[in-house]
């Protein structure tokens, strides 16, 4: 079935007890046993499983073209669950310009358990392949990246990863948050594990926190599922219900997000107070051809550099965002409303200044998440603030 049909129907059938088309939220912590060792139904305790979570995990797997989906209480919880596959002495290879929260886990958390993180020197499959060692267990990438919208050829990275002959099998992990399952399916391109911050496009309404992991491999699913239950960082039934509601309109919303991003990016590129625009939809943008090949459309994120005085970039960015009337200054992205973010002091504040510079995140960089409003209204808001 097509993704629009899967988003509405996969894992979501009328309630068998009442016939309600919209299944209820199962706000229960535990379930009745008929006798010793005999469950009345499929579930026994909501940390281990819940009808709402089961439906969410089913549809997430279907949309990503995977066999198994696992839902978590946040994107960071999903990331941590994947990293639970590692053991002391293992290594992770990643690239510059990843999400600040992921960098923080790599830089401040997993290193305490004897795990080493290596950064590829450049944002290319060749550079990633050249960074792999005998101890590399995971290659961790984003495409598009946060916040510079860099594009990696996922199939080429998968080939480099799987050709590598190390002590253990090397797995490719793709954070697919920025594209969403509506625009890109990394498993079909050779990835082993896909992660999401469901807080963003999957939820789509800025009213929940959630994360997900999707895999095809049975062993990986069992290992991460064991961690999910043991660690217990699972979403509530209500959060699962809200994500299911959001997923039903995901393809429609992503089309509007992408349309608004194209229009806004085009406006920004022509404005005298804008230094540079980062948007893969431009034909001359590095990686555009790869994006056109592996994505079904453009995401709703546009980043740009404001023309500022070198000694007061943050001050001038602050003046700009304060002048915006429609677009809201806030962290996160992917909601129906448009948001503006200053990565250096918000999403990527966890990166040391030298690491931000290496990643290309300057103090004058601004990230926009375009919602589903009319593009003309968003452009007018940006225009008056820029001028």
Query: What residues are annotated to the active site?
Result: 47, 99, 175, 200
Before 144, cis peptide (omega within 30)? yes
Of all helices (H) and strands (E), which one includes residue 83?
A: helix 75-83
- Residue 353: Cβ within 10 Å count: 10
In whole angstroms, give the CA distance from residue 365 to residue 317: 8
Before 176, cis peptide (omega within 30)? no
What is the maximum alpha-carbon separation in the chain? 74
DSSP state, 196? E
- Asked whether 15 and 23 are in contact (CB, 8 A), the reply is yes
- Asked whether 189 and 160 are in contact (CB, 8 A), the reply is no
Tokens 């960098």 belong to 103
In whole angstroms, give the CA distance from residue 340 to residue 274: 15
- Asked whether 157 and 126 are in contact (CB, 8 A), the reply is no
DSSP state, 162? H
* Cα 369–Cα 107–Cα 74 angle in degrees, nearest 5: 45
In whole angstroms, give the CA distance from residue 35 to residue 307: 70
Sign of CA dihedral 250, 255, 257, 258: positive
- Residue 299: Cβ within 10 Å count: 29
DSSP string spanning 164-178?
Answer: ---SS--EEEEE-TT
């Amino acid at each position: 079935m097509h993704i629009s049909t899967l988003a509405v129907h996969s894992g979501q059938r009328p309630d068998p007890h009442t016939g309600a088309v919209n299944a209820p939220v199962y706000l229960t912590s535990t379930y009745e046993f008929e006798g010793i060792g005999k469950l009345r139904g499929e579930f026994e305790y909501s940390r281990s499983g819940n009808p709402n979570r089961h439906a969410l995990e089913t549809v997430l797997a279907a949309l990503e073209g995977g066999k198994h989906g696992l839902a978590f209480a946040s994107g960071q919880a999903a990331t941590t669950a994947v990293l639970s596959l590692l053991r002391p002495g293992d290594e992770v290879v990643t690239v510059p310009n990843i999400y600040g929260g992921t960098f923080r886990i790599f830089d401040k958390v997993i290193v305490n358990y004897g795990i080493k993180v290596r950064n590829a020197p450049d944002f290319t499959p060749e550079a990633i392949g050249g960074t792999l060692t005998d101890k590399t267990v995971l290659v961790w990438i984003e495409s598009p990246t946060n916040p510079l919208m860099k594009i990696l050829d996922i199939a080429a990275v998968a080939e480099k990863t799987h050709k590598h002959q190390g002590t253990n099998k090397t797995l490719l992990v793709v954070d697919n948050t920025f594209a969403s399952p509506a625009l890109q399916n990394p498993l079909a391109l050779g990835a082993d594990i896909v992660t999401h911050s469901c807080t963003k496009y999957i939820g789509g309404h800025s009213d929940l926190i959630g994360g997900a992991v999707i895999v095809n491999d049975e062993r990986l699913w069992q290992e991460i599922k064991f961690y999910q239950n043991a660690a217990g960082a699972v979403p509530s039934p209500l959060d699962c219900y809200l994500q299911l509601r959001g997923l039903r309109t995901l393809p429609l919303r992503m089309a509007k997000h992408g349309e608004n991003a194209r229009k806004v990016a085009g406006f920004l590129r022509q404005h005298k107070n804008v230094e540079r625009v980062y948007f893969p939809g431009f034909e001359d943008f590095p990686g555009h051809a790869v994006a056109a090949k592996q994505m079904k459309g453009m995401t709703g994120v546009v980043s740009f550099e404001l023309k500022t005085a070198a000694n007061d970039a943050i001050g001038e960015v602050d003046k700009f965002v304060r002048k915006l009337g429609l677009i809201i200054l806030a962290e996160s992205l992917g909601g129906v409303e448009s948001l503006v973010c200053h990565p250096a002091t918000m999403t990527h504040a966890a990166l040391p200044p030298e690491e931000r510079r290496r990643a290309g995140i300057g103090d004058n960089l601004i990230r926009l998440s375009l919602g589903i409003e009319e593009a003309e209204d968003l452009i007018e808001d940006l225009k008056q603030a820029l001028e």
